[in-house]
Homo-oligomer: A and B are copies of this chain.
Amino acid sequence: MKINEHYSELGGNYLFAEMKRKTAEFQRLNPDADIIKLGIGDVTLPLTPAVIEAMHRAVDEMGSASSFRGYGPEQGYDFLIDSIIRHEYESRGIKIKRNEIFVSDGSKCDVANIQEIFSTSCTAAICDPVYPVYRDSNIMAGRKIILLPCTRENDFVPELPQKPVDIVYLCSPNNPTGKTLTRNDLTRWVNWAHEKHAIILFDSAYSAYIRDPELPGSIYEIPGAEEVAIEFKSFSKTAGFTGLRCAFTVVPEAAGTLNAMWNRRHCTKFNGVSYIIQRAAEAVYSDTGRRETTALIDYYMENAAIIRNGLRNAGFKVHGGENAPYIWWELPEGLDSMNFSTKLLESCRVVGTPGIGFGSCGEGFFRLTAFGNRAHAIEAVSRIRELKIDRIP
């Protein structure tokens, strides 16, 4: 049987699944342990009333012959696309057309699938550490990968590749480092892409967490980006949709044939997002929805501040957590992040994600997320304060 031979080049289990398994095993052996999960980036607050109401209405529509909807447009309904354009782009002074937006069931799917429209002979540049999906989807396709180290030395900002590169994945606010790229950083990348005829795949799933108004919330705030960049945004972290599944990708017409190619891919291999879920996403942009969503994000960012400041006050060195829901904990020299995850689970009953899982430059770091509830954030900090490991001087 001729299987896809590239799968053998993939690492073991997908990182988050592996951490889930490890935690479940610990819980099984310690049924009374009160484990605080700050590992997977999953939200915990319920969906907001505006979203819930919109879904009830849409469910009722689906139960009546006169308002039932079958297959929708693969690219998404105009009511949602128009709301996205208005609130994500016009609000930032960016012009995006309807046919440049592709609604999907998740940014994970989109960032995994986007590589298909590029040649397998492309070289892909990805950051290290990195959200594993960029790496794994390119390995599966047999594409050559170049790593861009993001370390404390370069303040977690990747440097321009020295070797030829065709596509580059950038994520800002970054998962896992919590770093957000500045206008200058992005301008350097956009200019580089123009010069090298490369394409930037810009994962902007966490842009709602940016607090500093000087930081760009879309790559299209950079002049010329529309010719060299594809952008991914999601409702998962913006509005707590991880269990609903809705996101969107922007492929500008100015990027040439890529718009038509992604449209062909989307129409051939995807059949649109559930009508009910698209109505839920539309409700996020209503006046009430926006107020409620802001409150959700404020809540999580207050968690981020508690974790960030709590760890700092406990003598640890932490990055991120200011314009991103991720805290990138720098471990004392010599501490292995995999072993540390076990130690943290056993000593503090706190689950996080070992940096090594995101790439070799993630070694020596540990990711905590702000998506838990307030009491857990406070309690986790209080337990970690007692942790018997060295502090970084």
A275 at the interface (CB under 8 A from B): yes
In the complex the two chains form, what is the Cα distance from A136 to B52 in whole Å?
A: 38
With contact pairs A3-B258, A3-B261 given, residues A69 and B197 touching in the complex (Cβ less than 8 Å): no
Quick check: B7 and A261 within 8 Å, CB to CB? yes
A70 at the interface (CB under 8 A from B): yes
Q: Given known contacts A1-B256, A119-B3, A243-B68, is B62 in contact with A59 (CB within 8 Å)?
A: no
CB distance from A76 to the nearest CB of B (A): 13
- Of A1, A44, A198, A258, chain B has the most CB atoms within 10 Å of the CB of A1
Asked if A70 contacts B3 (CB within 8 A), the reply is no
Report chain B residues within 8 Å CB of A45: 65, 68
Given the known inter-chain contacts A1-B197, A109-B271, A276-B276, please indicate yes or no for A243 contacting B69, CB distance below 8 A.
yes
Q: How far does the Cβ of A34 sit from chain B's closest Cβ, in whole Å?
A: 17
Which residues from chain B contact A64 at a C-beta distance below 8 Å?
46
Contact A133-B63, Cβ < 8 Å, known A1-B199, A46-B68: no
Q: How far is the CB of A273 from chain B (nearest CB, A)?
A: 7
Is the CB–CB distance between B243 and A275 below 8 Å? yes
**18 pairs of residues in contact across A and B, judged by CB atoms under 8 Å:** A3-B118, A7-B261, A7-B264, A42-B70, A44-B65, A44-B70, A47-B68, A52-B63, A71-B242, A71-B243, A105-B245, A108-B269, A109-B269, A109-B271, A116-B140, A132-B268, A140-B268, A243-B274
Residue ID in chain B nearest A62 by CB atoms: B47
Say whether B269 contacts A70, CB under 8 Å. Answer: no
Known: A45-B65, A68-B240, A133-B268. 4 other contacts (CB 8 A): A2-B121, A55-B62, A132-B268, A243-B274
